[in-house]
Chains A and B, each alone.
Chain A
Amino acid sequence: MSLQPQVTISWVDDKEKTTTTKFRILTGYTTAELNTYGFAIAQLFKDISTAKITDVSISVGLDLSLASLKTVATTFADWFTKLFVQARDVSEGVITKYFVPTFDEANISSGSDVANAADAEVIALQTLIEDGLADGGIFIHPVTDYNQNVDAVDFMRENFRKS
């Protein structure tokens, strides 16, 4: 069972020292309610403090029980190896990047570091990025940092962490 959602308020003082206030709230609120709460509770905290609030975030645990996930890491699974995907919002040209750790090199085109475009699993991820997920006729789209739909993958290739 996941823990209750956590509210984190970030602060800074006049010497640029930072700290946080954290507490948990009940589950089951909508995103609109959480956004309203985040602002309102931050104001109440700010009213008794002389520090400045720099951020208010709320983390909500998600249920992955309906996903078909592996439960044991493969022998080749290495945090060091990643799949690097660059995609963009075509209309605005803003790019966004995805990194998938422990990337399986079986999905690479032979003789290169590029993900195999004919691989069904590579195609599935690319489709999810470019087309989104259908939900009753209204698609759920990945977005850039500016809330714009990502709609084109530039490339997908193997990458490595700096050691």
Chain B
Amino acid sequence: MMPIQIIYTVYDKRGKRATTSVKLGSSETMARVQLFAVAWADAIDNLMGGVIRSAVALLQASIAGLVGNVVGTNADVEEIAEMQFDSVNGKPIYITVPAINENKVLNDTGVLDETDTDVAALLAALVEGLDVGTDTVYVVDTGGGEVADVVYAREASRNSGTRKV
């Protein structure tokens, strides 16, 4: 797996933003990452004139074994599934899926087929949480409120893609 990257955001006297980072071993615990982040921040702060405003730890999950992870013919990131959920705090949570498989959409309605096994599995993971063996991971709103229910899950289109070439 990729190393864990700690990224600091720094601002200079004019409010211009820069970042600086350091990497730790992929097997490190969050507690040790947190401990090191404070020590590194102190060390570089003493050598800088700017102000450290925030720090995040960036983990990259291994996707080496994903099944069927290839680009389908005519796959288009602008043809999306858009899903809205309500959190327990009453806040909306929006999640989109690009290049939605048309086989997952009900004919003539544009609504995702919730009887489809794959659609049902994704919605269950997002609404009820996903068991990772030692805990269950829940999707939340920005305030930490867990998902309460699905409001809608439907096909849509938008200009969402950035062309690389």
Chain A residues packing against B (C-beta within 8 Å): 2-4, 11-19, 21-27, 29-53, 55-64, 66-79, 83, 96, 98-104, 107, 121-122, 124-125, 128, 133, 135, 140-145, 147, 149
Other 20 A-B pairs with CB < 8 A, given A48-B116, A64-B41: A13-B75, A15-B161, A19-B98, A37-B132, A38-B63, A41-B125, A44-B122, A46-B66, A48-B104, A48-B119, A50-B71, A51-B77, A56-B61, A67-B45, A73-B12, A102-B12, A103-B47, A125-B44, A140-B35, A143-B3
Bound Cα distance from A29 to B78, whole angstroms:
33
For the complex formed, measure the closest distance between the CB of B115 and the CB atoms of chain A, giving whole angstroms. Answer: 13
For A107, give the chain B residue with the smallest CB separation.
Answer: B47
Neighbouring A residues of B112 by C-beta, 8 Å: 48
Find chain A residues with CB under 8 A from B151 CB: none
Q: Which of B20, B57, B71, B121 contacts A12 (CB 8 A)?
A: B71
**How far, in angstroms, from A77 to B18 measured CA to CA in the complex?**
12
With A101-B50, A102-B12 known as contacts, the answer to whether A55 contacts B60 (CB < 8 A) is yes
A140 to B37, CA, bound (A): 10
- Which of these, A25, A59, A66, contacts B137 with CB under 8 Å? A25
- Chain A nearest CB from B106 CB (Å) reads 13
Q: Judging by beta carbons under 8 Å apart, are A100 and B44 in contact?
A: yes
B132 contact from A12, A21, A24, A36, Cβ within 8 A? A36
Distance, CA A37 to CA B65, complexed state (A): 13
Q: Are A38 and B20 in contact (CB under 8 A)?
A: no
Nearest A-chain residue to B135, judged by Cβ: A33
Cβ of A126 to closest chain B Cβ, rounded Å: 9
B72 touches A38 (CB 8 A): no
Q: CB-nearest residue of chain B relative to A44?
A: B122
CA distance A35 to B27 in the complex (A): 10
- Give complex CA distance A135, B40 in Å: 14
**CB-CB < 8 A to B28: which residues of A?**
31, 140
Residues of B within 8 A of A104 (CB): 47-49
B137-160: contact bitstring with A at CB < 8 Å (1 yes, 0 no)? 111111110100000000000001
Please state if A14 and B59 are interface contacts (CB–CB under 8 Å). Answer: no
* With A15-B76, A23-B93, A100-B44: A36-B164 Cβ-Cβ less than 8 Å: no
Instruction: Establish whether residues A49 and B97, one from each chain, have CB atoms under 8 Å apart when the complex forms.
Output: yes
